């Protein structure tokens, strides 16, 4: 039976490369000169720590982070900017978490959408991935198209396609 997996993962090395690219660009920008700027990646918890001198610089740093990450192949929706920036002394800090793996409630939404689509496929949640199996590859490709159009708010990857 043909099958594939739906995952939502960010490659740590690609993320690290994107963070290093952001650091290089910020170091060369005139508007960030003579101001405290720190961009650090916690590789264990997938958290990017941002620290700048003002709110305006924070917005610019977030724009640079998203654009450089997208050039590296990381979807911009992989970053969770829901936490507000907070002042700490003379700097503004923000912690941005990177979504890595499907949460249980997100996986349930995807499985519900697959079952409501009426396709002759089965979807099963396995830890942080969803295994989709069907009799025809065309059915699986329809599910991939529906998931892409679903607008779930987080990036999806389709891996392990077997026929």
Tens digit of each residue's pLDDT (9 = 90 or more) over 26-83: 999 898 888 899 999 999 999 999 999 999 999 999 999 999 999 999 988 899 998 9
Q: Where in the chain is the domain with CATH 3.30.70.860?
A: 3-8+101-162
Tens digit of each residue's pLDDT (9 = 90 or more) over 74-104: 988 899 998 999 998 899 999 999 988 888 9
pTM of the model: 0.83
Task: Give pLDDT, residue 153.
Answer: 82
Q: Where in the chain is the domain with CATH 3.30.70.990?
A: 12-98
Report the distance separating Cα 155 and Cα 79, nearest Å: 10
Q: Which CATH superfamily is domain 12-98 in?
A: YajQ-like, domain 2 (3.30.70.990)
Helix, strand or coil, per DSSP, at residue 63: helix
Q: Which CATH architecture has domain 3-8+101-162?
A: 2-Layer Sandwich (3.30)
CA angle 108, 106, 161 (to 5 degrees): 80
Tens digit of each residue's pLDDT (9 = 90 or more) over 97-141: 998 888 899 899 999 999 998 889 999 999 889 999 999 898 899
Alpha-carbon separation of residue 155 from 10, 15, 23, 34, 141 (angstroms)? 9, 14, 24, 36, 17
Q: How many CA atoms lie within 13 A of 15 on its CB side?
A: 23
Extract the tokens encoding 47.
Answer: 């958290």
């Amino acid at each position: 039976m043909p099958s594939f997996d739906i995952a939502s993962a960010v490659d740590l090395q690609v993320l690290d490369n994107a963070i290093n690219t952001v650091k290089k660009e910020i170091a060369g920008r005139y508007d960030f000169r003579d101001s405290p700027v720190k961009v650090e990646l916690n590789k264990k918890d997938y958290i990017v720590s941002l620290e700048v001198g003002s709110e305006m610089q924070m917005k610019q740093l977030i724009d640079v982070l998203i654009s450089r990450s997208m050039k590296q192949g990381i979807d911009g929706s992989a970053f969770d900017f829901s936490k507000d920036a907070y002042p700490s002394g003379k700097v503004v800090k923000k912690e941005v978490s990177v979504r890595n793996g499907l949460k249980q409630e997100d996986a349930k939404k995807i499985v519900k959408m697959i079952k409501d689509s009426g396709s002759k496929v089965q979807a099963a949640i396995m830890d942080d991935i969803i295994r989709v199996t069907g009799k025809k590859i065309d059915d699986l490709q329809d599910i991939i198209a529906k998931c892409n159009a679903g607008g779930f708010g987080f990036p999806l990857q389709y891996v392990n396609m077997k026929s």
